[in-house]
């Protein structure tokens, strides 16, 4: 017996299709051709079992496993539904594979940031070199350090001068401009006479 839904050939005494579960009806000798694909359908068919095209008459309900279903939706295997289902299944599979690849190929531990110098660390190194470059041109101006070079002195006055240098370099002043400012505020530039403080 030919299934009216999917076209599968079943045993003659079967009540339901072994392929799609559709309730089988006795095949009549008269057939209805589908206007779209030409498939020969049972005379009582409202929709083509090959392509799902409406043939004629109103929608009939058949019982499938005790539940009323529309003959077009219950057990139907239209090409659109089948290809959509295959597409969804394929996309889902691809997404799962992609997630698994990312999970297993990504490093399990984050790359240690401390191995690479940060931009701030590089800027600090440059800034410290500039501060040292300015400080090397001066002696401590406190008068109690015995003219210790500013870059070596750690007294409060020397620290204040180094902070002054840093603040002006951070404001965008050049090394030369900062040297001139330190000389005008604190004096004690090395190329001048030792111990002579010149204030501006």
Give domain status of residue 178, yes or no: yes
Which range of 16-30, 99-113, 132-146 scores highest in mean pLDDT? It is: 132-146
Give domain status of residue 99, yes or no: no
> Would you tell me how many other CB atoms lie within 10 Å of the CB of residue 181?
16
Q: How do beta strands 31-33 and 67-70 pair?
A: unpaired
Q: Are residues 119 and 70 both part of a single domain? A: no
CATH number for 119:
1.10.8
Give domain status of residue 88, yes or no: no
pLDDT band at 192 (very low <50, low <70, confident <90, very high): low
Give domain status of residue 31, yes or no: yes
pLDDT score, position 125: 76
Contact 72/52 with Cβ under 8 angstroms? yes
Q: Are residues 19 and 64 both part of a single domain? A: yes
pLDDT score, position 129: 82
pLDDT score, position 103: 77
Identify the three-state secondary structure at position 34: coil
Select from 59, 80, 101 the last residue of a domain: 80
Q: Are residues 69 and 129 both part of a single domain? A: no
Q: Are residues 75 and 121 both part of a single domain? A: no
* Overall domain count for the chain: 2
Q: Are residues 72 and 124 both part of a single domain? A: no
> Would you tell me how many other CB atoms lie within 10 Å of the CB of residue 38?
10
**Domain limits at 24?**
1-80
Contact 20/6 with Cβ under 8 angstroms? yes
Over the range 59-72, which residues count as b (16 or more CB within 10 Å of their CB) and which as e?
Answer: eeebebeeeebebb
- Is residue 132 within a helix (H) or strand (E), and if so which, with residue range? helix 119-135
> Which has the higher per-residue pLDDT, 119 or 1?
1
Please state the rounded mean pLDDT for residues 72-80.
48
Q: Are residues 18 and 75 both part of a single domain? A: yes
Which range of 6-15, 39-48, 140-149, 169-178 scores highest in mean pLDDT? It is: 169-178
Q: Are residues 119 and 61 both part of a single domain? A: no
- The pair of structure tokens assigned to 175 is 């090394």
Handedness of CA 180, 186, 192, 198 (dihedral sign): positive
Identify the three-state secondary structure at position 106: coil
pLDDT score, position 110: 56
Handedness of CA 93, 99, 102, 104 (dihedral sign): negative
Question: Would you say residue 199 has pLDDT above 80?
Answer: no
Q: Are residues 10 and 55 both part of a single domain? A: yes
Residues 6+ apart with CB under 8 A from 100: none
Q: Are residues 67 and 4 both part of a single domain? A: yes
pLDDT score, position 59: 42
Question: Would you say residue 60 has pLDDT above 50?
Answer: no
Q: Which of 11-25, 106-120, 154-168, 177-191 has the lowest mean pLDDT?
A: 106-120
Q: Are residues 70 and 134 both part of a single domain? A: no
Give domain status of residue 12, yes or no: yes
List, for residues 142-151, the tens digit of each pLDDT value. Answer: 888 878 888 8
Distance CA 86, CA 77 (A): 12
Provide the whole-model pTM.
Answer: 0.37
Contact 44/59 with Cβ under 8 angstroms? no
Give domain status of residue 155, yes or no: yes
pLDDT score, position 80: 53
């Amino acid at each position: 017996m030919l299934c009216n839904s999917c076209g599968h050939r079943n045993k003659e005494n079967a009540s339901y299709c072994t392929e799609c579960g559709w309730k089988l009806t006795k095949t009549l000798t008269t057939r209805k051709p589908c206007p779209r694909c030409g498939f020969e359908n049972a005379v009582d068919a409202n929709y083509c079992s090959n392509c799902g095209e409406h043939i004629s008459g109103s929608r009939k309900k058949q019982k499938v496993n005790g539940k009323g279903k529309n003959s077009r939706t219950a057990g139907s295997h239209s090409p659109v539904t089948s290809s959509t289902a295959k597409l969804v299944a394929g996309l889902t599979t691809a997404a799962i594979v992609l997630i698994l690849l990312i999970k297993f190929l990504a490093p399990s531990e984050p790359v240690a940031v401390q191995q690479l110098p940060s931009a701030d660390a590089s800027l600090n190194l440059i800034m410290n070199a500039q501060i040292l470059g300015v400080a090397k041109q001066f002696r401590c101006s406190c008068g109690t350090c015995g003219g210790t070079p500013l870059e070596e002195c750690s007294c409060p006055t020397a620290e204040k001068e180094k902070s002054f240098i840093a603040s002006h370099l951070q404001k965008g002043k050049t090394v030369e401009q900062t040297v001139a400012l330190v000389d005008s505020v604190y004096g004690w530039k090395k190329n001048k006479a030792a111990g002579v403080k010149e204030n501006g």
